[in-house]
Structures are given as C-alpha cells and as structure tokens.
Structure 1
Amino acid sequence: MTSVVTPATEPPTEPGDEAVVRRRTGRWIEHWDPEDPDFWESSGRQVARRNLVWSIFAEHLGFSVWLLWSVSAAMLARAGFDFSAQQLFFLVAVPNLVGSLLRLPYTFAVPTFGGRNWTMISAALLVVPTVLFVIVVQRPDTPYWAFVVIAATAGFGGGNFSSSMTNINYFYPTRLKGSALGLNAAGGNIGVALIQFFLPIIVGAGGAFGAIKAADAINLQRVGYLYAVLAVIGAVAAYLFMNNLASASGKPRETLAVARYKHTWIMSLLYIGTFGSFIGYSAAMPLLIKINFFRSPIPTESIGINFVYYAFLGALVGSLTRPFGGWLADRVGGARVTLGCFLAMIVGTLGVFYSLTLLDPVPVPAPEQIAAWTADPASFPGFSPEITAAVNHNSDIFPWFLGLFLFVFAATGIANGSTYKMIPHIFKAQAQNATTAGTDERRAAEARAVKEGSAALGIIGAAGAMGGFLIPITFGSPWVGDPVEACKAAFMVFAAYYVLCSVVTWSVYRRPGATMAEAGV
C-alpha cells in the first residue's frame, strides 16, 4: 500500500485517518484504494462510513426540499390560493425538471471541487428555495408564474442526488457498491416520505392518520423556516466531518466521455422507469388522492380520504426497499432483480388503473357556486346525498388503490437499488473485456472504469429524474378535460413504458449469450 506522509503540523483528525492530508481548500485524501483488502480494513472502511453518514444527511435534506411543493401544492387552496388541477400538477413537476437538469453539472462538481466541498455548497444552496417559499406562501396575491419560478429553485435539492452518489461511488469497493449506494440513495429518498408526513403536522393541517387534528388555519411558512435552518446545519456538518478524494478528480470533458457508450443511454431509459416512477409518483400522490377520493368545496368542509394521512406512504415504502434492492443485487445480480421489478410494476400499475375504473363519478358544483360558498361559508348547504354516496363508495375502493400503488412503489425502490448496482458493474465488465488479466493495462482500465461509472451515475440519474417531471405532467394532461380520466389514461401509458423496459432489460442484460449477461451484470 502506498504510504502518505502527513505533515507534522497538521496531524490526522481522527483515528484511522492517516491517509488524510490538509490543503487550503479543505480535507483531502491523497491515496484511496478500497479494492485493497488491507487498506480497506485498516482505515478505508471507517473513513468511507463516516462520509456515507453525512452524505446521507445532506442528500436527505436535498430530497425533502426538492419535494417541498408536492404536499404544499395540495394545501394552497386552504391557504387562499385558487389554482386548477393542471396548474398544481405542473407546479409539483417543475422542481423535478430543474432537478434533473442540474444533475449533470452536480456530477461534474465532485471531481472538480471535491465531494466534501461540493456537499457544503449544495447544502447551503437549499437556503434559497426554503426562504423564497416562506415569502411566497404568505402572500395570497402572488401570481401563479411567481409560484412556478420559486418552485423551480427547489430543483437545487434534486441535483444533490447525483453529486452525492458520484462521491460515495468512489469511496467503496465494487463488491459493496450496491449496498453503499442503496443506503445513500435510500437515506435521500426517505426525505420525500418525511417531508410528506411531517409537513402537514408542522403547518397545522393535521396528520399521523388523524391522531393530530388540524388547526383552524395553516401556516405553510413554518416548514420553510425549519428546512432553511437544517440546510445550514448540513453545510456545517459537511465542513466538519467529510473528506475530498484526490483520486476522484477529473474534468467535465472526461466525465461527458461516457455519453459515447450505449449502456449509458440504455440504463438511462431503465432508470426513467425506476427512479423516474418513484419521484414522479411521490410528487403526484397527494394530488392523486385529493382528486380521486376527496372533496372540499370550501376550506372548512370536507368529505372522503384526507391525503395528508396517506400521501407519504408511497415514498416511505420506495425508500425503505431501495437498500434491499442494492443488497439483493449484490447477491443475485442487478439485471435479474431489475427485470423482476419491471414485471411487478406492470402488474401493479394495471391494478391501480383497474381500481380507478371502479370509482363513481362525483358531481361537481358550478364554479360560481363554489365561489359564493367560499365568500360566505355559512351559506354552504352541506353535501348532497349524491355526492355523499359517490364519495363513500370511492372511499371503499381506496384501500385497493393504496395497496396496489404501494406495491408499485416497493418495486420501484428495489429496482432503484438494483440498477445502481448494475452501472459500476457494467463499466468494470467493459474494462475487463477489453484487457488481459494481471496487466498494467487491465489495472489502468479498471481505475478508469470507476471514474466512468461515477460519471455515468450522474448522467443516468439526470435522465431518470426527468421521469419525475413527465409523470405529474401526464397526470395533469391539459388535453384531457376530466382530471380523473387523465389519471386513468396516465397509468396505461406508464404500464406500456414498463413493458418496453422489461424487453430492453432482458435483451441486453439477461438474454443468454449477451455479453453483459455472461459478465453477471
């Protein structure tokens, strides 16, 4: 193992950190070889674990801020804002679009600035969307376009995923990448579930399955203040406890070189189906429940299923199953797990579609009538027998809808973990197929494969996040007049996409005789 001399004036900061050297720009590790068993057991494991913990924390905050609008959008009517279903679906989709576009530059940032340094910057950037959120939700006269612009800044949180995953990929040996990346991603993903669970409670809308009752008024700004403080804590924690790896250095041109490989784009297609589904469904679920199972013509009167009790469950299930997908892929192969998940997603999505076909149409009062009731709540006559009967019938269908949807979420979570296991394995297999074992050429190719795999994680992650934009947009299709019918049509589109992904996964990574199948990807 190559030794590194640490200057006597600046001793290692922690036991086991003998590879850490300080520079003006922060703590750097000059030598890092996790594939060396002696290095890994003597010091590598401890340092990697510490960086993983604080990476998870920062990424967790990023995901929470990224999905801040997913729940808030469904509460804007109660806060005094009047937006249509299509406008609300677009509002929750915009952060996903921006987050997907930011994932490429965030991937470049790790080799350019260092993983620790960029974690500090990216965590601090979360102050921007949270403070703007505080301002805008307290002004009912704010125009819709301003909401869209401010929601777009929440995309900063979506970019965090790529930089975090790229960074952690460098820290762990190939045999543990599936589990490490799965834990890192799950820690971030669960930020979606927590923001969807705690936001209603924090702002006074109630929650915890009805155990916490709603207040007379909601205060959406509270959650903005909270996450602005947490963002500052995340930046300080990265400064104190994380490291940069000199071996992770590179240039954007080198990173973009992986765009020449067909597997980068094949895995992007698949990751749109896995992670894109997870983040898209998570963003849309509060509105899906509200549109299909809930009626509240005025803020003080409601009937049906309250979305604040259940909206977080999908993201929670998808987050908890992600590390299991990485663990399982480490043992039986990523492609095998991914294919099984796509088949499960086809079945589950068709089941969700079928549950929606069982719903009864709910009569909708005229807009002018709703406006009159809102202006004078005392004039509201109560829910008609027709509305009550339809909503009660639909509430009886809700357990089937929820159970099938959670099944889809579980499959997306497992597939997220398994696909991220496949990516570094694919690049290592390419390096081994092109070189001879035991040669310097093989060693150089494998070292290059680690960098290429990390770069591919960023590009594939960016493509996958685009699904988080496309799914809410499809649910809110402006070309379908009835929001309920738009939801049903969307699920059929998604099922067809999963069929395509299943065919591609089998033909490229599981078909007997395929190069990657023989490599055990």
Structure 2
Amino acid sequence: MGRSHLITDWDPEDVAAWEAGNKKIARRNLIWSVIAEHIGFSIWSLWSVMVLFMPASVYGFSASDKFLLGATATLIGACLRFPYTFATAKFGGRNWTIFSAVVLFIPTVGTIWLLAHPGLPLWPYLVCAALTGLGGGNFASSMTNINAFFPQRLKGWALALNAGGGNLGVPMVQLVGLLVIAAVGDRQPYWVCAVYLVLLAVAGVGAALYMDNLRDYRIELNTMRSVLAEPHTWVISLLYIGTFGSFIGFSFAFGQVLQINFIASGQSTAHASLHAAQIAFLGPLLGSLSRVYGGKIADRVGGGRVTLAAFVLMILGAGILLTASVFGAHTHGPAPAATMVGYVVGFVLLFILSGIGNGSVYKMIPSIFEARSYALQKSEEERRQWSRSMSGALIGWTGAIGALGGVGVNLALRQSYLSSGTATSAFWVFAVFYVAASLLTWTVYVRRPLPAVGQLPEGATGLAYV
C-alpha cells in the first residue's frame, strides 16, 4: 500500500512491457475508473428517480417542472465535461478521481435535505439538480484517462467497457429507487441517497489505494484548438448527440413518460410510480450493456458501418413511439394497453441501439487520429503521443457536446407536453434527427474510405481503420 502512484514511463504500444505487467496496471486503473464513473453517472441521473417520489399534491411540481430538473442536470453535466477533459492530464488520473468522488457528497446530501422539506419553490431543486451534473463530468475525465492507458489495438474494447460500466450507473440508481419504493413506499426517498453516500466513500478510497497518475500524459489547450479545427470533430460530435444524447436524455425522461401514461390509464400516483420504476431501469441497463458490444463489433467491422446500422434502426424505434403516441392521443378514455406496450418497445429499442452507437462512435475517435498520425513528420514516439493527445481531447469534447443532446430530449418532451399534452411532436423531432444522422454517417464514413492522409499500417484502409 506504500507504493508510488506516479508512473514516469508509460508506453502502452510496447508489447513486451505490456505483457510483462503493464496490462495489469492498466486493467487495475480501468476497474476503479469504471467504479467511480459508474457512481458518478448514478448521482448525475439521481433526479430521474427522485421525480418519481415527488407527487404534485405534496411538492406542487408539474410534469414540465420535472422535465426541467432533468434538463438542468443534463446541461450542467454536459458543460462540465469540457474542463473535466483536461483534469486528469493536469492533476493526474488518480488524484482527480478521488476529488470527483468526494465532491459528489454535496448534491447527494442536498437532495436528502430538499426532499425532507416539501413546499419549497422550484429554484433550490434546480440548483441541486445542477450540482448532480458534477457526476456527468466524470465521464470525460475517466475516458481521457483510460485512453492514455491502453494501446490502439484495445482502445475500442477498453473505452467501450469504461463507458458502458459508467452508463450502468443510470439503471442502477433507478433499480435502487425501485427497491426503495417497493420496500418503504414512495415517501422515503432518503434511502436511495444513503446508499450512494456509502458508495461514494468506497470509490474515493479505492481510487486512492489502487489508481495511478501518468507523469507524461498531457492534453494542452493547443491540442484542443487543433482538434476543433479538424472537420471530423464536428461530424463525430453530431453523431454522438444522436447516440449518447438519446441514451442520457431518455434515461432521465423514460420513467416520467411511463408515469404520466400510467396515470392516464387510471392508476393512482403511487401505483404509477411503482410500475414506472419497475420498467424504467430496463432501458438504460440494456443500453449500457449494448455499448460494450458496440465497441467490440466496431473493432472488427469498422465504426462507421456499425454507427450507420444503429441510426437506421433508431428511425424504426422512433417510428414505433410515434405510432403509439398517435394511437393513444386518438383513443377516448384511459390510455390503452397497446400504447404502453408501444412506448416500452420503442424506448427499449432506442436504448439498445443508442448504446451500440455510443460504442462504435467512440471507437472511431482514436482510429481517425491514428490514421492521420502517419502523415506527420514525427518520430514514432511523437506520433503516438500526438494520436493519444488528440484522441483524448476529442473524447472529452465529444462527450460534452453529445450530452447536450440529452438536454434537447428533455426540453423537446417538456415543450411537446406543454403544447399538446402528448409526446408526439418530440418523437417527430427524434425521427427526423436520426434520418439526418444516418445520411451524414453514410456520406462521410461509409460511402467512401477516409481520405488518405499518409501511410497507414500495412493491410489497413481508411474505412477499415475507422
């Protein structure tokens, strides 16, 4: 336990050193990075569960107010991903992971206090929801850190596992919420937060004992400026809005959409909350697991092809939601069971496909810069460092921009319910976006190989590499 946590010489592409022990170091850091990011995601999505414990008769908040809470948490989490991108390179992966776990005690304790004092205005809840966004920033720092630990040939798997394990924090907090509702009812949400106070302590201590800092890993502002001048940055960011934006946006909204429709079918608020919680965790769970497989499939057949297939099928998922919403809107009386089935099938399909797309898009990032690095007049060590730095910067930037898609999802649903009382208009917006994303992916990454920028490794083509 008294070992140094500073690694002064790290080259993941050195196969001999990797097999001699570096892979164990990388995997140890990956494990604790996943744990810390997982809990961070849970805190970030905490209010997707808390709104199920907040009946309007007690707290006085409408459905649109609750969508606003989700949008606020998502927005702050997205914005924090940009500075968090530089954090591990500046302060060290171990040091920042400890800090990012400890600081989440603030919104967790704040949530307990607010829910114990119903009758307060909306703004304190919005402030607390914004602070849970600190957990959303963890994704960028965790991903850039793990990107530096693993060799190019394993990045698709490592990044997908890290991100997928983090994403699992969303269904996990919803599952904890379900267990609390089932055990003690919908008036004692404090137990959800109490569980996470313990888990945050575990994450902080585990990071302190088992993680490491890389001395020579840097992401400079000049690197970020170079990344922003790269056209692929903006294409990848738009694609990630469609994949991760859908995942995190639906994660915040799914339970509330179900609750609204269960109430419309004639159930009491308490029963609607319980039934919504029983289903809501399933979508984020499947989306998190599918992310890992999206990265692995992309390693074999190319990220562009997998991303295109995901978006094409997401159009189908949005179509199912549209059909269910229109059918329910034209039915008199309580919402029919067919509408609920359509919502569940459509959302679960979108969760799975967005998870696959998350993994495939992130596989494309290091591949693009690895391919581009061969055109540089640099030594092999400098070429690899350039590729890692550019990839790390784009991973953080893309994570921030992609999360803004979650803000759009919640605002679109909020406005749709305000204007028409249904989610139909929002579903139209989602379907149109997926069509546009499919066309963009096909045009840039599938229709033709990545434009040649220099010599690639023997036997590799631009398309296969990306």
- On whether the aligned pair clears a TM of 0.5, the verdict is yes
User: Conserved in 2, the CA contact under 8 Å of 1:270 and 1:501?
Assistant: yes
**Structure 1 residues 298 and 401 mapped into 2: Cα distance closer, same or farther (>3 Å)?**
closer
* Counterpart in the other structure of 1:503: 439
Report the TM-score, using the length of structure 2 for normalisation: 0.93
Superposition TM-score, scaled by structure 1 size: 0.83
- Give, in whole Å, the separation in 1 of the partners of 2:176 and 2:157: 28
Q: Residues 130 and 79 of structure 1: is their aligned pair in 2 closer, same or farther, counting only changes over 3 Å?
A: farther
Q: Secondary structure at the match of 2:176?
A: helix
1:356-406 Cα offsets, whole Å, 9 max, x none, are 2111568xxxxxxxxxxxxxxxxxxxxxxx75xx23xx2233223212221
Q: Which residue of 1 aligns with 2:395?
A: 457
Structure 2 Cα separation of the partners of residues 78 and 299 of structure 1? 12
Q: Which runs of 5+ in 1 are unaligned?
A: 1-9, 14-21, 207-211, 363-385
Query: Which residue matches 2:39?
Result: 61
Task: Determine the structure 1 residue equivalent to 2:176.
Answer: 198
Aligned with 1:248: secondary structure?
Answer: coil
Q: 2:414 aligns with which of 476, 484, 494?
A: 476
SS for the counterpart of 2:6 is strand
1:396 aligns with 2:338: yes
CA contact (8 A) 1:130 1:224 kept: yes
1:87 alignment partner, one of 65, 68, 74: 65
CA distance in 2, matches of 1:443, 1:178: 21
The root-mean-square deviation of aligned C-alpha atoms, in Å, is: 2.2
Choose the corresponding residue for 2:425, options 468, 486, 489.
489
Name 1:421's counterpart in structure 2: 363
SS at match of 2:328: coil
Is the 1:293–1:395 contact (alpha carbons within 8 Å) kept by the matching residues of 2?
A: no
Give runs of aligned pairs for residues 12-31 of structure 1, distance below 5 A: 13=3, 22=4, 27-31=5-9
- Report the 3-state secondary structure (helix = DSSP H, G, I; strand = E; otherwise coil) of the residue aligned with 2:419: coil
Seen in structure 2, the aligned counterparts of structure 1 residues 125 and 107 have a Cα distance that, compared at 3 Å, is same
Aligned to 2:218: 249
Q: Is 1:35 aligned with 2:13?
A: yes
1:236 and 2:172 equivalent? no
CA contact (8 A) 1:335 1:510 kept: yes
Q: What is the match of residue 374 of structure 1?
A: none
Aligned CA distance change for structure 1 residues 148 and 478 (closer, same or farther; 3 Å): farther
Q: Does the 8 Å CA contact 2:449/2:463 hold for their aligned counterparts? A: no
AA at the equivalent of 1:420:
Y
Structure 1 residue 442: deviation in Å? 4.9
- What secondary structure does 1:359 align onto? helix
Change (3 A) 1:301 1:116: closer
SS of the residue corresponding to residue 247 of structure 1 reads: coil
Amino acid at match of 2:241: I
For the residue of structure 2 that corresponds to 1:358, the secondary structure is helix
Partner of 1:406: 348
Name the structure with the higher helix share: 2
**Residues 471-521 of structure 1, C-alpha deviation per residue, up to 9 Å, x if partnerless?**
01100007843331xx11111111111111111111111122541773521
Given that residues 78 and 136 in structure 2 are in contact (C-alpha distance below 8 angstroms), is that contact kept between their aligned partners in structure 1? Answer: yes
1:317 aligned residue: 286
Structure label with greater radius of gyration: 1
SS of residue in 2 equivalent to 1:396: helix
Q: Partner of 1:433: helix, strand, or coil?
A: coil
Which whole-Å deviations, capped at 9, do the CAs of 1:160-186 have from their partners, x for residues lacking one? Answer: 000000000011111110111111011
- CA deviation digits over 1:247-276, x for unaligned, max 9? 313433434431121111111111000000
Q: How much does 1:445 deviate?
A: 2.4
Which residue is equivalent to 1:19?
A: none
CA contact (8 A) 2:416 2:424 kept: no
Shift, 1:79, TM fit: 7.8
SS in 2 for 1:154: helix
The count of corresponding residues between Structure 1 and Structure 2 is 457
Whether the 8 Å contact between 1:431 and 1:442 is mirrored in structure 2 is no
Change (3 A) 1:296 1:75: farther
For 1:376, the equivalent position in structure 2 comes to: none
Q: Retained in 2: the 8 A contact 1:31–1:247?
A: yes
Distance 1:449 1:79, change over 3 A: farther
Q: Equivalents in 1 of 2:102, 2:310: separation in Å?
A: 36
Q: 1:288 is paired with a residue of what secondary structure?
A: helix
Amino acid at match of 1:108: F
**C-alpha displacement at 1:441, in angstroms?**
3.6
